[in-house]
Amino acid sequence: MKHWMGFPMFPEQASSVAGRVDALYFFLVAVSGVFAILIFGVITVFIVKYRRRPGKMAVASGHGHMWLELVWSVVPLALTMVMFFWGAKLFFTIYTAPPGAMDVFVVGKQWMWKFQHPEGQREINELHIPVGRPIKLTMISEDVIHDLFVPAFRVKNDVLPGRYTTMWFQATRKGDYRLFCAQYCGTEHSLMTGWVHVMDPPDYQNWLGGGAEAGPMHVIGGKLFDQLGCATCHKNDNTGRGPTLVGLFGSKVTLKSGQVMQADEDYIRDCITKPNARLLPNYEPIMPTFKGIISEEGLLQLIAYIKSLTPPQAAKTGSETK
């Protein structure tokens, strides 16, 4: 935390966007400051200079002045447009994860954060990540709306029940940084906090090495897939009663209704929890819903498994999860 005259003023800059957010902040502070000082200054001068004195009447006309009013409408408008474009551009960056980002899966519940790494490690209220690598969080809530917020990274996003939201960041400095729940979520909202531990990549590899006896996420997901009997219909060679899931992730799917959808995490989640809303041509609506049967973490594992099912010829492009 940076201090000024003993007061903390700024959180640490520990992500690739932190400096850019701060730069925008300084710009906004500067513009605001100039305007505020200008107005306060002018008011002070006026109220002193034109204070009421006996025998002295005011002389100005109060009917307005076209030019003046035009100037002080157009100048602020122009400045706000600069703010808009600058802010929007930065928002694109903060909003869109770069390709090849490392996945971490997040489940929020009252009142804790559960993190899952593709390699299988799970942690609660602590998140270990390597420095210098883009990390993409895929997040969902088990109950109410939460919000994952890391001030040092200048990023936050709501975590919704029923639908995935994502956010990404790239830590630039080793260290331990606070993470908060920023969306009010009930009694112990203020205890739904934790730490992000940013580590050197080798340390991170070591950390990954210790633990995860159940294996990587997609392996756990594969076991779940077998346990739930998914494989009886979804066969790898497309001979089952349900469509094959090999190569599904990331492809475009044409539904019975003619709608074309991108098979992303949300799509797969919806197919599992409300299968009848995503009917395919040539397949009967026979899949039961698994809503309430699989936990949010289990769903993420299944998705990791389905993501790992790449057709042989596409294997060279590989997925980051391996």
Partner 1 sequence: MLRHQFEDASQQRESAVLGMWVFLATEIMFFGGLFAAYTAYRYQYGAGFAAASHHLNMLLGAANTAVLLTSSLTMALAVHAAQVGKKPAHIAGLLVLTMLLGCAFLGIKAVEYHDKFVHHLVPGASFVWEGTLTRQAEMFYYLYFAMTGLHAIHMLAGVGVVLVVAILAARGRYTPQYHNPLEITGLYWHFVDIIWVFLFPLLYLIA
Partner 2 sequence: MSNHILPIKTYVAVFIALMVLLAATVAINRVSLGELNIVAALSIAVVKTFLVVLFFMHVRYSHRLIWIFVGVGFYWLTILLALSMTDFLSRTWPPLGR
Partner 3 sequence: MTTSEPTMPPVHYLNCDYSIRSWLLTQDHKRIALLFLVSITVFFLLGSTYAGMIRTELLTPNGNVVSHQNYNKLFTMHGLIMIFFFLIPSIPTVLGNFLIPMMIGARDLAFPRLNLASWYVYTLGGIFTITAAVAGGVDTGWTFYTPYSSIYSHTNVTTMAVGVFITGFSSIFTGLNFIVTIHKMRAPGLTWFRLPLFVWAIYATSIIMVLGTPVIAITLAMVGLERVFHIGIFDPALGGDPLLFQHLFWFYSHPAVYIMILPSMGVVSELIACFSRNRIFGYKIVAFSSVAIAVVGFLVWGHHMFVSGQSAYAGLIFSFLSFLVAIPSAIKVFNWTATLYKGSISYDAPMLYALGFIGLFTIGGVTGLFLATLGMDVHVHDTYFVVAHFHYIMVGGAIMGYMGGLHFWWPKITGRLYPEQWARLAALVIFLGFNLTFFPQFILGYLGMPRRYHTYPAEFQVLNVMSSAGASILGVGYMLPLFYLLWSLRRGPIAGPNPWGAKGLEWLTPSPPPTENFEQTPVVTEEAYAYRPEENASG
Which part of the chain contacts partner 2 (CB under 8 A), choosing from 91-99, 100-108, 110-118, 196-204? Answer: 91-99
Among 95, 238, 251, 293, binds partner 2 (CB under 8 A): 95
Q: Is 131 in the site for partner 2 (CB under 8 A)?
A: no
Distances, alpha carbon 250 to alpha carbons 110, 148, 236, 263, 312, in Å: 32, 26, 17, 5, 15
Task: Select from partner 1, partner 3, partner 2, none the partner in contact with residue 239, using the beta carbon and a kind-dependent cut-off of 5 to 8 Å.
Answer: none
CA angle 195, 199, 205 (to 5 degrees): 115
162 vs 209, which CB is nearer to partner 1?
Answer: 162
Task: Select from partner 3, partner 1, partner 2, none the partner in contact with residue 52, using the beta carbon and a kind-dependent cut-off of 5 to 8 Å.
Answer: partner 3
Per-residue mark of binding to partner 2, 246-285 (x: CB under 8 A): ---------------xx-----------------------
Neighbours of 83 (CB within 10 A): 13
The label of the residue with tokens 């609506």 reads 285
> Is residue 78 classed exposed, middle or buried when 0-12, 13-18 and 19+ CB atoms within 10 A define those classes?
exposed
Task: Select from partner 1, partner 3, partner 2, none the partner in contact with residue 42, using the beta carbon and a kind-dependent cut-off of 5 to 8 Å.
Answer: partner 3
CB 153 within 8 A of CB 177: yes
Interaction site with partner 1 (CB under 8 A): 257, 274, 276-277, 279, 285
CB of 131 to partner 3, least distance (A): 20
CB of 255 to partner 2, least distance (A): 12
Question: d(Cα 214, Cα 222) in Å, to the nearest integer?
Answer: 12
Torsion angle of C-alpha atoms 30, 36, 40, 41, degrees rounded to 10: 30
Side chain identity, residue 280 = L
Q: Is 85 in the site for partner 2 (CB under 8 A)?
A: no
CB of 259 to partner 1, least distance (A): 9
144 vs 279, which CB is nearer to partner 1?
Answer: 279
Question: d(Cα 242, Cα 233) in Å, to the nearest integer?
Answer: 5
